[in-house]
Amino acid sequence: MRGYRNLVRWVADRPARPAVALLGAIALASGSSAAEKKRPNIVILLADDWGFSDIGSFGSEIRTPNIDALAKAGVRFSDFHVAGSCSPTRAMLQTGISNHRAGLGNMPETIPPEHVGKPGYDTVLNDRVVTMASLFRDASYRTYLTGKWHLGKTADKLPTARGYDHAFSLADAGADNFEQRPIEGLYDTADWTEDGRPATLPRNYYSSRFVVDKMIAYIEAGRSSGKPFFASVNFLANHIPVQAPDAYIARYRSAYDKGWTATRAARRDRAAALGIVPAGAPMVTMGTTRDWNGLSPGQRAAYARAMAAYGGMAEAADDQIGRLIAHLKATGDYDNTVFVFTSDNGAEPIDPMGTLLGRLNSWAHYDMDPAEQGRRGSFTAIGPGWASAASSPLRGYKFSAGEGGLRTPLIMAWPANPAFRAGTIAGRMAYVTDIAPTLLALAGVPGHGTTYRGKPVEPMTGSSLVPMLTGAAGSVHPVTEPIGYELSGNAALFRGDYKLVRNLPPTGHGEWHLYDIVSDPGETRDLGAAMPALFRTMQADYAAFAARDQVLPMPAGYTAAQQINDNAMHTVLVPKLTRGLAVLVVLVALLAGARRWWRRKRVPA
């Protein structure tokens, strides 16, 4: 263990005093000699499309007792930001580097043809970045991933080529939660692989249960090595299609009868009471949100059922997190495990039934009876009204650069480590690129610079959150540090308590706005006119970021929702129609031949 002792000394000798405090606390907890030998396990619990207030400890009515227990044992971050959609966030989480530099300037599902192949628009995790899984494996950790990957499909882009010893992963944005079935109309197949080879799901498959089952199996299979583990559990919950076992849906049968406006207000009040947002935090009403009271009784019942499925899906995922935690307690791993829970972006507003093509596709492939929503064989989405409630009290949701798209819950816990301020809230800016350097620091694993294994790579840009976890500092980002972000034309620049933001339609009009997102997280008071100097400075900061990361302007009229349809049409529907037409031509030819044969047979010799 001499190498690890040297790592501990190296971390302790760095200028960052919180690292010293943390290592000292570990020594107090378990004795200096044991502390040097007992490196922590790491468990990342990544939810999909959960809004800012979708867990109980952030204000939700959804029952999430196991995630809330982690919050009680650890630190909640109330000003944590990710990207507005899944794979850009996942790229930054894995590498500690901005999405453009990591190759995810856009996703394959939402990229316009004009951007394909341009620098930073690889639509996969490129080879210029290093994953933290690679660094943990280099430091003799066991590395495992289960669930959604969405960072590349080819053998050289799958998890086992990017630092993971074993992985059972989905390369697509989402898939069915009860069957080995794709999102019909978006993909031809559900692209599941295990260790780089096509894989088959079990017959009793349910996504949240399965990703935990598989992770427990990986952890136990490698236990005899004596090495600590780095485990990334990536839930499909609550990505479209929203699906849950019947018992979970039933628990929310009447929970949403009052509608999304009432739910949004109730969540805001609970979040304020918990200290997650300021008391009386003002909110906007999203322009895409319909008046609940203006809907027919049948429409209200159908929408309430969709959100009941959403709540049930989230609670089912929480139960599986509890099962993983119970297993780690039974094996003695729990106390010395660092847990990270977050979501990859805000709640999903797109309603596939909102377009004629979407309705035709849904009716053709799924049971669309409103009473069947959320069940096996159904195709359910919550739409913009409930997405707004799930992101309460924030403006916007998935895809947008509003806080509802970019701000998600973050919980970090190390149960037996007294240096973590258990049950506290960190209320200043944190960014998804901060996760990798934080976990590496907690494990005493060195990062990398501009080279890795002799090849030039992008250096990590995130900052370790250890000072915020230990209470040594309220923030790790200086008030003058600009943090830029862009995806699909929606853009933001964070600087201290302030945020510069621009959204394209349908959630904006392409103009810049300035907000104090600490006192006004709902982005209700535009300060651009009141603070012109800061407004100009932050626009200049964004321009510098966009030039450095080679951000491209979006084509006129672009929206992510429309591009998803266009790309699906090109990659899935047109090939299907072409194949169908080819089959039809063959059938017609066979029928014509059979008809000629029958006529000849009937003609007398």
Q: What are the residue numbers of the active site? A: 86, 150
- Residue 351: which residues within 8 A CB-CB, separation 6 or more? 358, 381, 382, 383, 384
Element (H, E) at 286: none
**Could you give the residue ranges of the DSSP H alpha helices within 366-419?**
383-390, 403-406
Distance CA 84, CA 397 (A): 8
What is the rounded (10 degree) CA torsion for 160, 166, 170, 172? -20
Q: Which two tokens stand for residue 534?
A: 């800061």
With CA atoms as reference, report the closest residue to 241 among 412, 110, 372, 407.
Answer: 372
Distance CA 90, CA 46 (A): 9
Burial track 466-495 (b if 16+ CB lie within 10 A, e otherwise): bbbbbebbebbbeeeebbbbbbbbbbbbbb
Pairing of strands 41-47, 337-343: parallel
447, 440 contact by CB (below 8 A): yes
Element (H, E) at 226: none
Question: Dihedral of CA 380/385/389/390: which sign?
Answer: positive
Say whether the peptide bond before residue 182 is cis (omega within 30 degrees of 0): no
Strand-pair partners of 393:
none
Distance CA 391, CA 389 (A): 5
**Could you give the residue ranges of the DSSP H alpha helices within 96-206?**
99-102, 132-138
**Could you give the residue ranges of the DSSP H alpha helices within 232-355?**
246-250, 260-274, 297-330
DSSP single-letter state for residue 451 = E
Amino acid occupying residue 305: R
Amino acid occupying residue 27: A
Using DSSP's 3-state secondary structure scheme, residue 219 falls into helix
Q: Which two tokens stand for residue 333?
A: 């791993």
Q: Which two tokens stand for residue 298?
A: 């049948």
Element (H, E) at 166: strand 166-170
Distance CA 604, CA 585 (A): 31
